[in-house]
Copies of this chain bind each other. A is one copy, B any other.
Amino acid sequence: MKAYFGRRYMLSASHRLHADRFTPEQNRQAYGKCNNPHGHGHNYVVEVLVSGPVDPEKGMVIDLADLDGIFAAQVMERFDHRSLNLDPAFAGQVPTTENLCQVVFGLLEDCLPAGRLESVRIEETENNFFESYRQ
């Protein structure tokens, strides 16, 4: 058997989908109302999936408090109750939830033991979500 531990977090942020290299018409076509000026926002539900052996002594895949600490320091501090467009991670790319998902994956992977982070899944609304999986 292979074992996984999943943890669910929530953060609220605003974003505006807009590519500087696109014309206003192209932006409107690519992003629709998500291109409205001044932005809008979401409650992003972030699900982090970690794999690994179950420690035979502790009976755990990962220490929950450790993971919570990493997530708070790397993700919550940085993005919760913020405008994503102003974060350096989105200086050169549009803050779509696909891109946010990849950024969060990278931030967590750097702080977890190698090969343990399996995926990051972000629900933007209850009707759509994005996932980044380790290959």
Contact = CB atoms under 8 A, between A and B. Distances in A.
Main secondary structure of the interface of A (DSSP, over half): mixed
Given A13-B41, A33-B80, A135-B2, A59 B99 contact: yes
A1 B128 contact: no
Given A34-B81, A56-B93, 4 more contacts: A4-B133, A15-B41, A40-B41, A61-B98
Contacts of A33: 80-81
Contacts of A81: 33-34, 36, 40
A40 B36 CA distance: 15
Given A41-B13, A83-B38, A105 B61 contact: no
B1 A102 contact: yes
Instruction: Please provide the 10 A-B residue pairs with the shortest distance between their CB atoms, ordered closest to farther.
Output: A41-B41, A14-B14, A59-B96, A14-B41, A38-B83, A59-B94, A4-B131, A33-B81, A40-B81, A2-B133
